[in-house]
Structure 1
Amino acid sequence: MVQPRPIRDLPDELISQIAAGEVVERPASVVRELIDNALDAGASHIVIRLMAGGVRLISVEDDGAGIAAEDLPRALRRHATSKIASLNDLEHVLTMGFRGEALAAVASIADVTLTSRTAGMTHGQRLEARSGEISPAARAPGTTMEVRELFYATPARRKFLKSDATELAHCMEAVRRHALARPHVAFTVWSEGRLLHQWRACTLEQRLRDMLGEEFVSGSREVDATIGPLRIQGRVGIPTLSRAKADLQYTYVNDRPVKDRLIAHGVRAAYDDVLHGNRQPAYVLFVSIAPERVDVNVHPAKVEVRFRDSREVHQALHRAVEAALATSMPPLLQPVLPPFLPPTAHLNAVEP
């Protein structure tokens, strides 16, 4: 017979470590969260430094607005954020970060140092997460987050990591997904003290060419359509650019990189008549929609979203991509596109 156990409050550190299990899957998860913060701070140049695939060191340095000296101690507390203050803010959020738990979660499983300076400060301030000690530091305006020895406080989690090369590849993919959506921001990546990649601020077309290659740009068609409440932009590959794996598919909702089955299915449906077997299309698509029509607070790592009207989004993507592909096909093979019906029209439609 099971004996009843007393119910007790969990220690704050254990709460953060549990949250870290949801937020931090691997070093790339930390890279993504720190870049989110840098972008929210208005950075124009972000420098990422990695060691051992991000396990030994993840450093993200930006030239953004910085953190005021009096706010520095709160930056690593659970559920402390400057992004939202009410439920209404949460329902209309457009910032990359908003929960205020990521930094606290990371600080509970790694050695974290935060150095920041605002334009009005005479010098920077450095916060050591473990000791809580704050000391002066030389720094230009902006913020540097250093995360060392990831998972040192939870060694069992560290055993699930892959090789340094594999973790580095995941970190690079996290950087790439952010950089594609922010061509006006420069990104520099160092690994083991060597320059790995550098992307200067430029146009979207140039960023696509720099990151995905000339073959993708020349073998893809532009998408720019406003259908219902959605604005869909980007580029979709012609059928001959298809791949064996879905490794060149980038989707964004309000500039947030997401992995959404609904979007993927809507895009793939547009290729049904021109792409056969298990071949995968290549595309970079940006979906803009009113923030109240999409819920970004459905996944701990913020990589999934939920639309208020999923059928509306699916149909709009299908039409926009199909129309873009039609421009690359001979006239006799171009599909006849059905008229777009708003969601309410479907309720009154009658099957023939």
Structure 2
Amino acid sequence: MPNIPRESPRIAPLDEAAINRIAAGEVVERPASAAKELVENALDAGARRIEVAYADGGKTLLRVSDDGHGIRAEDLPLALSRHATSKIDGSDLLNIHSFGFRGEALASLGAVARLTVTSRHGTEDAAEISVRGGAPGPVRPAALRSGTRVELRDLFHATPARLKFLRSDRAETQALLDTLRRLAMAAPQVGFVVRDLSGGGDGRVVLRADPEAGEGAEALLGRLSRLIGKEFAENAVPILAEREGHHLSGFAALPTYSRGAAVAQYLFVNGRPVRDKLLTGALRAGYSDLLSRDRYPAAALFVSCDPMRVDVNVHPAKAEVRFRDPGLVRGLIVSGLRHCLAEAGHRASSTVAGATLGAFRQETGAAGPARLYQMDRSAPAARQMAYQAQAPQAAVDGFGFAEAPSARVEAEPTPDHADGGEAPAIGYLGAARAQLHETYIVAQTATGMVLVDQHAAHERLVYERLKTQRAHRGVASQALLIPEIVELGPDDAATLLAEAEALDGLGLSLEPFGPGAVAVRATPALLGPVNAEALLRDLLDELREGGAVETGNITARIDAVLSRMACHGSVRAGRRMQADEMNALLREMEATPHSGQCNHGRPTYVELKLADLERLFGRS
């Protein structure tokens, strides 16, 4: 073996500099991880304003300044030593309430870069200390108004090989900004300013997030609007759930505001940004019935619990966590998401209307659209006379608009019938006015119009009805004439049999059959003929990841069958509908959860406000 010499080597301790560089490789992977450690220290210090400056993606310069409580001058040398911290006393590594606690950040940064720390504690004089080549220098007087300023230059100059693994300046900048956005979301009351000094001078501000007014969800929504965009804030619904001491809060975007990649998923545990597979999987499962597989939800979710119930000391980067009861947390997220999205009802994202307006192209001449002056507008009486003169004498058979029972659409339905009867209740989706190409329903609302895809809308309605029937009556099972024996191994068989009762409620009946084997006596009838062994192995994979059986593979496959049934049992495109049928469809959409998107995540309707229509025709 080339890595092992022929002669037995002698064991010898590494020198302190090598130890620090090896340890730094776990904590500092790139400029973004260095910025994460420094900003977390600033937040732990009680900072209310944090400024981050960088150059060349953070490779040549990274400076973090804050107005926190600072470090005493006599403590500066100790702050640069490994495993020295003021955040824990070492007696309990689970009851952690701060971002940092390992005492490795500054020591690791000093081992791989040129580090200077300047700080002022209270009314004491400011002081600074520098580290070159891993060796700290003396403490010297400095000028600083308050807080702490940490300057990091020439990252990885002590380990040049690591520089070859860094990406381009642009890629490192994007990673740096993404890390800072996540930290800014975790602290809405803290102001953040990020400057790019690559061009020299004062640089340019690339990110600014002023402290948000208010508290709780209000402050968080304001911060998310600044960092993710106003579109997310307009199309997100609040989420608030609690289960056995675990709390879930935040905002989840509507399914029709989905993304093509998982770039807008922000997860936090006790205020700490994390990238955890359990939480990501739970987020995906919460939208599993609403999105196609090539679309990803957008959300900012905050899970909070007793620190004793979650272990954050899994990796030096502290990006992964381990919950004492992962199934409970996963169920909380899935059920919380489904509940808040169901409360959104038929609501669809505003971006759908924006895309629709963008599809319209206003024809303009060389000088642009003609301006409309007030003198060109006719008086109301003149307009009424013109409307009467322009009214058609007779509608051509097969064309024209079929009037709904009520000609007026108002916030409150009013008696408008000749026979003195009550007008039908008009909801958010208005009253049907026409059907275009036997596929789309045109409805008039109190504030504009709605265009509905009749097949997509009815598909979702039928699907939700089938799921409700399944929930009330249970999943019918199909007994096998000859039970199928599946060899799994002792551990896998025990894992499945431990969930036999839950699986039986989903139509899958299992019994032990000797050591390491399971007898499948019944399968869900909706699935038809199934490969029992493949089904059980899929369930095992789900259980190994900590997923609950109730939201597992069987339910997903049954829902897929229901979705196909709903598609074939829905109103097809090309069918002419009467006015009462169209209005009944609109009313059912208003009363059905998730009716804003079909089973595949596509929007079922587009809403255009009257102001949008007027703008299209130059009337605004």
Of 96, 106, 116, 2:109 maps to: 106
Cα distance per residue 1:118-162 (max 9 Å; x no partner) = 1130x2101011241211011012000000000000001001111
Of 64, 70, 77, 2:74 maps to: 70
Shift of 1:348: 10
Counterpart of 1:189, as a letter, is V
Counterpart of 1:181, as a letter, is A
- Verify the 8 A CA contact 2:73 2:139 in the aligned structure 1: no
Aligned with 2:317: secondary structure? coil
Counterpart of 2:324, as a letter, is R
Aligned with 1:128: secondary structure? strand
1:20 to 2:24 alignment: yes
Counterpart of 1:63, as a letter, is D
Counterpart of 2:157, as a letter, is Y
Counterpart of 1:237, as a letter, is A
Matches within 5 A, 1:1-352: 2-88=6-92, 90-121=93-124, 123-130=125-132, 131-192=136-197, 193-202=203-212, 203-330=219-346, 333=464, 351-352=504-505
Cα distance per residue 1:59-103 (max 9 Å; x no partner) = 000000100111111011011111111232x21001000101121
Cα distance per residue 1:266-299 (max 9 Å; x no partner) = 1111111111122100000000011000000001
Aligned with 1:19: secondary structure? helix
Shift of 1:223: 0.3
Which stretch shows the higher mean deviation, 188-197 or 169-178? 188-197
What is the TM-score of this pair, normalised by structure 1?
0.94
C-alpha distance in 1 between matches for 2:206 and 2:154: 21
* Structure of higher RCO (CA pairs closer than 8 Å, 6+ residues apart): 1
Aligned with 1:105: secondary structure? helix
Counterpart of 2:342, as a letter, is A
C-alpha distance in 2 between matches for 1:57 and 1:65: 24
What is the TM-score of this pair, normalised by structure 2?
0.54
Cα distance per residue 1:201-226 (max 9 Å; x no partner) = 00211111111111101111100111
C-alpha distance in 1 between matches for 2:272 and 2:153: 27
Aligned with 2:181: secondary structure? helix
Tell me how large the CA RMSD over aligned residues is. Answer: 1.8
C-alpha distance in 1 between matches for 2:172 and 2:138: 31
Counterpart of 1:319, as a letter, is S
C-alpha distance in 1 between matches for 2:94 and 2:290: 39
The count of aligned residue pairs is 343
The residue aligned with 1:341 is none
The residue aligned with 2:617 is none
What's the % identity of the aligned pairs? Answer: 43
C-alpha distance in 1 between matches for 2:307 and 2:114: 35
Which stretch shows the higher mean deviation, 188-197 or 249-258? 188-197
Counterpart of 2:151, as a letter, is E
Aligned with 1:119: secondary structure? coil
C-alpha distance in 1 between matches for 2:262 and 2:500: 37
C-alpha distance in 2 between matches for 1:149 and 1:114: 15
C-alpha distance in 1 between matches for 2:48 and 2:102: 23
C-alpha distance in 1 between matches for 2:38 and 2:142: 20
Cα distance per residue 1:275-329 (max 9 Å; x no partner) = 1122100000000011000000001211000011111111111111110110123
Unpaired runs of at least 5, structure 2? 198-202, 213-218, 347-459, 472-497, 506-620
Aligned with 2:150: secondary structure? strand
C-alpha distance in 2 between matches for 1:57 and 1:86: 33
Counterpart of 2:46, as a letter, is G
Shift of 1:2: 2.3
The residue aligned with 1:343 is none
Shift of 1:106: 1.0
Which stretch shows the higher mean deviation, 243-252 or 13-22? 13-22
C-alpha distance in 1 between matches for 2:239 and 2:309: 22
Shift of 1:185: 0.2
Which stretch shows the higher mean deviation, 218-227 or 56-65? 218-227
Aligned with 2:161: secondary structure? helix
C-alpha distance in 1 between matches for 2:315 and 2:288: 30
Counterpart of 1:209, as a letter, is S
Shift of 1:21: 1.1
Aligned with 2:252: secondary structure? strand
